[in-house]
């Protein structure tokens, strides 16, 4: 079976993900899915991506990367990128033709926009879609936009068209599926929940329970991650308890942090000696930081899954996360789920105040919880879906 992934945001290699401060999320999922699928006999994978001159894919891989030169090098605003993809679908079609796939799996709305155009032109290869960052869902949930207003949004209409045109949708959590179905009126049978896994060669527990008094988080410097919520929670914690703990926020670049004014908030709350901002690091470095810290905290307003808490728990870290969407899938029985800044501050204190044996037990439960998320299982479920879909579309085309 030949599988072709199409992704036009992010670079599907570990080297570039680390170099460009892209921690977790789309890159991590795509990398590990590709690497686990090609372990199956008679399965090959191509990944079509937007070639950028300063990104050189690493060679230590078993899947082929096909770069398509679209637009100038470097990141582009979403609307500009989609306009470029619209006008360059012929170049993408050439790359797909070179790949000769049995099935296409688009990652993100940008790739789906191209496939939608090709589908409208008669291209009928079976098409699976994972919309890692569904804009319509976020607007519906976070901005409280009703559906009648949402339907006026051009991006929402294009996302809706993609979800209607593809043959099947992969959701990363049960909450993600519910949100997609409710927002876009997608039939439930068209959506399969396939959770990501954990790269155990990188994120693992080394048996050490005695750790530095560090509360750690990581992620893209995006407003959706809501790091200000976390900094304010930590401020409440420090105001209530005179303790030596530090909060470490990993991810992004200095410019991205400035756009969110994190340093300004830290100064306003007099937390300059307690909050540390670290630029993006490699997955290996991040895992080592997890193994040296006391607690992981997740502050996102919305997550389709919440991979970082699972990776932290694999390193033996108890997790405290907000009660939102995909976090509920990852929290299970080894994490605290909180509603507001005061609850998060309280759970920081109660977790740090646990007896040695109680804390050690929580660490062990975290590792056991993370073991429920396996890349091998995720790849197998994707492969079963692909096989069924290829047969289904083939039968449909013969009718």
Residues whose CB falls within 8 Å of the CB of residue 26, separated by 6 or more in sequence, listed in order: 7, 9, 10, 107, 108, 132, 133
Encoded tokens for 174:
């049960």
Half-sphere exposure of 136 (CA within 13 A, CB side): 30
Cβ neighbours around 4 below 10 Å, total? 23
Tallying the residues shown for the chain, one arrives at 399
Pairing of strands 335-338, 319-322: parallel
Under a CB-based contact definition with an 8 Å cutoff, are residues 180 and 137 in contact?
yes
What's the distance, Cα to Cα, between the start and end of the chain in Å? Answer: 23
pLDDT digits (tens, 9 = 90+) for 226-249: 999 999 999 999 988 777 789 999
Rounded CA-CA distance 134/338 in Å is 24
The CATH H-level superfamily of 214-370 is Glycogen Phosphorylase B; (3.40.50.2000)
- Pick from 331, 348, 144: which is nearest to 243 by CA? 348
3-state secondary structure of 220: coil
Identical topology for domains 2-197+375-398 and 214-370 = yes
Domain ranges for the chain: 2-197+375-398, 214-370
Under a CB-based contact definition with an 8 Å cutoff, are residues 57 and 11 in contact?
yes
pLDDT value of residue 296: 96
pLDDT digits (tens, 9 = 90+) for 251-284: 877 777 788 889 999 999 999 999 999 988 888 8
CATH number for the 2-197+375-398 domain, one of 3.40.50.10480, 2.60.120.260, 3.40.50.1010, 3.40.50.2000? 3.40.50.2000
Residues whose CB falls within 8 Å of the CB of residue 245, separated by 6 or more in sequence, listed in order: 213, 214, 215, 237, 274, 294, 348, 352
User: Residue 221: is its pLDDT beyond 90?
Assistant: no
Average pLDDT over residues 324-345: 84
* pTM of the entire predicted model: 0.89
More confidently predicted of 323 and 73: 323
CA distances from 22 to 93, 226, 262 (A): 28, 17, 19
pLDDT digits (tens, 9 = 90+) for 82-130: 888 888 888 889 999 989 999 999 988 888 988 999 998 889 899 999 9
């Amino acid at each position: 079976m030949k599988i072709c992934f199409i992704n036009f945001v992010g670079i599907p290699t570990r080297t570039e993900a680390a170099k460009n401060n892209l921690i977790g999320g789309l890159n991590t999922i795509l990398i590990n899915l590709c690497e686990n699928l090609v372990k199956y006999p008679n399965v090959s994978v191509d990944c079509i991506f937007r070639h950028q001159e300063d990104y050189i894919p690493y060679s230590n891989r078993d899947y082929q990367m096909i770069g398509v030169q679209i637009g100038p090098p470097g990141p582009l605003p979403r609307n500009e990128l989609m306009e470029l993809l619209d006008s360059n679908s012929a170049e993408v079609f050439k790359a797909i033709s070179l790949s000769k796939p049995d099935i296409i799996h688009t990652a993100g709305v940008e790739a789906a926009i191209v496939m939608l155009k090709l589908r409208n032109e008669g291209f009928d290869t079976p098409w699976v879609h994972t919309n890692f960052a569904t804009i319509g869902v976020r607007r519906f949930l976070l901005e409280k936009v009703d559906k009648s207003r949402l339907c006026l949004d051009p991006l929402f209409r294009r996302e809706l068209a993609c979800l209607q045109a593809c043959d099947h949708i992969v959701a990363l959590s049960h909450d993600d599926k519910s949100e997609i179905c409710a927002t876009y009126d997608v039939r439930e049978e068209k959506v399969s929940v396939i959770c990501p896994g954990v790269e155990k060669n990188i994120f693992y527990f080394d048996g050490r329970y005695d750790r530095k008094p560090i509360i750690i988080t990581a992620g893209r410097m995006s407003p959706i991650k809501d790091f200000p919520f976390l900094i304010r929670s930590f401020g409440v914690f420090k105001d209530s308890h005179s303790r030596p703990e530090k909060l470490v926020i990993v991810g992004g670049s200095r410019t991205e942090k400035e756009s969110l004014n994190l340093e300004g908030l830290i100064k306003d709350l007099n937390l300059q000696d307690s909050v540390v901002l670290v630029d993006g690091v490699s997955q290996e470095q991040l895992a080592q930081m997890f193994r040296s810290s006391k607690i992981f905290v997740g502050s996102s307003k919305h997550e389709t899954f919440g991979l970082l808490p699972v990776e932290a728990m694999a390193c033996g870290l108890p997790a405290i996360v907000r009660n939102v969407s995909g976090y509920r899938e990852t929290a299970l029985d080894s994490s605290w789920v909180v509603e507001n800044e005061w609850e998060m501050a309280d759970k920081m204190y109660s977790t740090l105040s646990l007896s040695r044996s109680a804390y050690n037990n929580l660490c062990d439960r975290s590792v056991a919880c993370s073991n429920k998320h396996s890349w091998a299982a995720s790849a197998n479920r994707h492969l079963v879906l692909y096989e069924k879909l290829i047969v289904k579309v083939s039968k449909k085309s013969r009718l």
